[in-house]
Amino acid sequence: MRAWPHVVIVGGGFAGLKACHALAGKPVRVTLIDKRNFNLFQPLLYQVASGLVSESDVASPLRQMVGQAPNIQILLGEVVDIDPAAREVVFNNHRYGYDHLILATGSGSTYFGHEEWRPLAPPMKILEHADEIRRRLLMALEEAEQTRDPERRRFLQSVVVVGAGPAGCELAGSLIELMHRAIRRDFKQLDHDLCRVILVDAVERVLPTMHPKLAAAAAQHLEGAGVTLVMRSMVKGIAPGRVALEGPEGPRELQAATICWTAGVRASRLGALLAERTSCPVDRGGRLLVEPDFSVPGHPEIHAIGDLCAYHHTPDGRPLPGMAGPAVQMGAWVAAAILARSGASTAASGSGSLAPFRFTDLGSMAVIGPFYAVADLRGLHVTGLAGWVLWALAHLAFIPDTENRISLFTKWMWQIATRQRTALLITGRPDQHIGVDVGLFRAQLEPQPEPEPARDQPAEDDLPVAA
């Protein structure tokens, strides 16, 4: 294989994994580098946060997914630099050469310049975030179960979700169902009617990118389930247990033991780094403005795909949304383009060249509660149970691992039948670490001082939140 072109793919998410699949068994050497050893199905993170399914139901080891192909090598490590002149990436203190580079490092969350809010209101981008949200909520409910003070109990039973896009609506809908119904029999002392989920956003309505009719249906369903909607309200400050808002009626403050953040997205920092190294322009969200073939200007051998790129070469000139569908299609197209360029495939067009990239929009959907979803299928609007069935089928079809497909289906059916959640575990407490039992000093378990930051970038969004 030494004579074959070497394709390095950084990031095994939706886009990178698809590219990897498309290159498996083809006459190219592929190295997939990811800082995690698994592929994560982010659309179902809210189900991990609300204890509906567990971590391994929404994540699969990369080695099992693509590692068996003889031409694919998988390496664990975080790429921290790129040298376009030498055609090398830097990770784990190595420099690693490539002929073609596919960057698919995705995006993280942003607090719009208020990084100090991050530990107080965890985002929902990686498994650790979902675990943290679940841990905070369950710890608050456990304390409420033992609290006599009604004011304190009300506080402990309150959740604020910032951001009324699909992820925020899905999280809010699932948390209210959890608190009002799923744990009704388990927590004997809680006053379940006091459980509150407040969904906050600065925009006019929930699901602002979806059709107004679907947004109205989603809002009505959320309110019917008990979620309080606070729209047109800008978050001005977050302190422990408090969210300060500026709304149409002036300033107000919400108090809740659990605060979650689903409000802003920013491209992975590798985008800014590559922009620095190649002078590739970026948009306001830090996404690389790529050429029609996803290459970086002046570097036909470097491609940026998925959430990392802003792709404006569409019929209406509007950039493709940062969603799984575009990411997957970009991954497949770029893989085919590399094969076509290296003369490895003529199958795509029959002539050795490839038709330009065209995104096929299959629509968007959001699940708002049990048996209730809203779906926009290229102008066909579906709500309620029919929407939920479509949502469930689409997600089962889309999740890349068969074992996960089976376990998700089983857990959803179990939840439908019993209203119980199988993954309501409180994990991630260092004070419960096995080290305590084997005699480690507690001091050894205390958080260590932060090491000096290696880069002058703000904290990457997808770092685990402080416990």
Beta carbons of 313 and 21 less than 8 angstroms apart: no
Q: Which of 16, 122, 163, 271 binds ligand FAD (CB under 6 A)?
A: 16
- With binding defined as CB under 6 A, does residue 310 bind ligand FAD? no
Residue from 242, 241, 262, 263 nearest 253 by CA: 242
- With binding defined as CB under 6 A, does residue 33 bind ligand FAD? yes
Q: Which of 24, 36, 237, 241 binds ligand FAD (CB under 6 A)?
A: 36
**How far, in Å, CA of 371 to CA of 376, rounded?**
16
Q: Please identify the residue of the shown chain whose CB is closest to the bound ligand FAD.
A: 13
- With binding defined as CB under 6 A, does residue 15 bind ligand FAD? yes
Which residues partner with 32 through β-bridges?
Answer: 9, 74
Burial 255-294 (b: 16+ CB within 10 A, else e): ebbbbbbbbbbbbbbbbbbbbebbebebeebbbbbbbebb
Structure tokens, 69 = 């192909």
Q: Which of 178, 217, 218, 327 binds ligand FAD (CB under 6 A)?
A: 327
In the chain, the amino acid numbered 278 is: T
**Burial category of 250 from C-beta neighbours within 10 Å (exposed 0-12, middle 13-18, buried 19 and up):** exposed
Cα first-last separation, the chain: 46
Structure tokens, 231 = 């729209």
Q: Which of 307, 376, 401, 461 binds ligand FAD (CB under 6 A)?
A: 307
- With binding defined as CB under 6 A, does residue 286 bind ligand FAD? no
Residues 6+ apart with CB under 8 A from 39: 12, 13, 17, 59, 60, 62, 65, 400, 401
Q: Site mask, ligand FAD, residues 113-142, x = CB under 6 A?
A: -----------xx-----------------
Out of 132, 170, 253, 452, pick the active-site residue: 170
- With binding defined as CB under 6 A, does residue 110 bind ligand FAD? no
The footprint of ligand FAD on this chain (CB under 6 A) covers a number of residues equal to: 33
Q: Which of 42, 50, 60, 158 binds ligand FAD (CB under 6 A)?
A: 42
Q: How far is the CB of 335 from ligand FAD (least distance, A)?
A: 13
Q: Site mask, ligand FAD, residues 159-178, x = CB under 6 A?
A: -------xx-----------
Q: Is residue 170 flagged as an active site residue?
A: yes
- With binding defined as CB under 6 A, does residue 324 bind ligand FAD? yes
Neighbours of 434 (CB within 10 A): 7
Q: How far is the CB of 250 from ligand FAD (least distance, A)?
A: 32
Q: How far is the CB of 161 from ligand FAD (least distance, A)?
A: 12
Rounding to the nearest 10 degrees, give the CA dihedral for residues 373, 376, 382, 384. 10
Which residues partner with 228 through β-bridges?
Answer: 198
Q: How far is the CB of 317 from ligand FAD (least distance, A)?
A: 20
Count of positions (residues) in the chain: 467
Q: In terms of CB distance, is 52 or 270 closer to ligand FAD? A: 270
Quote the Cα angle for 22-70-95, to 5°: 85
Q: In terms of CB distance, is 322 or 370 closer to ligand FAD? A: 322
Span interacting with ligand FAD, options 100-108, 229-237, 423-431, 442-450, rule CB under 6 A: 100-108
List of residues contacting ligand FAD (CB under 6 A):
10-16, 33-36, 42-43, 45, 78-79, 104-106, 124-125, 166-167, 268, 270, 306-308, 322-325, 327
**Residues with active-site annotation:** 170
